[in-house]
Amino acid sequence: MEKTIRRIFIGEVADLPQKLGKTVIAGNKEIAVFKTENGDIRAIENRCPHKGGVLAEGILSGEYVFCPMHDWKISVKDGMVQAPDVGCVQTYPVEVKSDLVYVLIRE
Ligand code: FES
| CATH, residue 30 | 2.102.10.10
Q: Report whether residue 82 contacts ligand 1, using a CB cutoff of 6 Å.
A: no
Q: Report whether residue 87 contacts ligand 1, using a CB cutoff of 6 Å.
A: no
Cα-based distances in Å from 61 to 8, 20, 53, 73, 96: 25, 9, 17, 9, 22
The number of folded domains in the chain is: 1
How high is the mean pLDDT of the chain? 95
Domain residue limits at 60: 5-106
Centroid of ligand 1 to alpha carbon of 34 (angstroms): 18
Mutate to test the pocket of ligand 1, among 45, 47, 48 (most ligand atoms within 8 A of CB): 48
Query: What is residue 1's predicted lDDT score, i.e. its pLDDT?
Result: 62
62-70 CB contacts, 8 Å cutoff, 24+ apart: 62/36, 62/37, 63/36, 65/21, 65/32, 65/34
What's the pTM value of the predicted model, to 2 decimals? 0.93
Is the model more confident about 28 or about 60?
Answer: 60
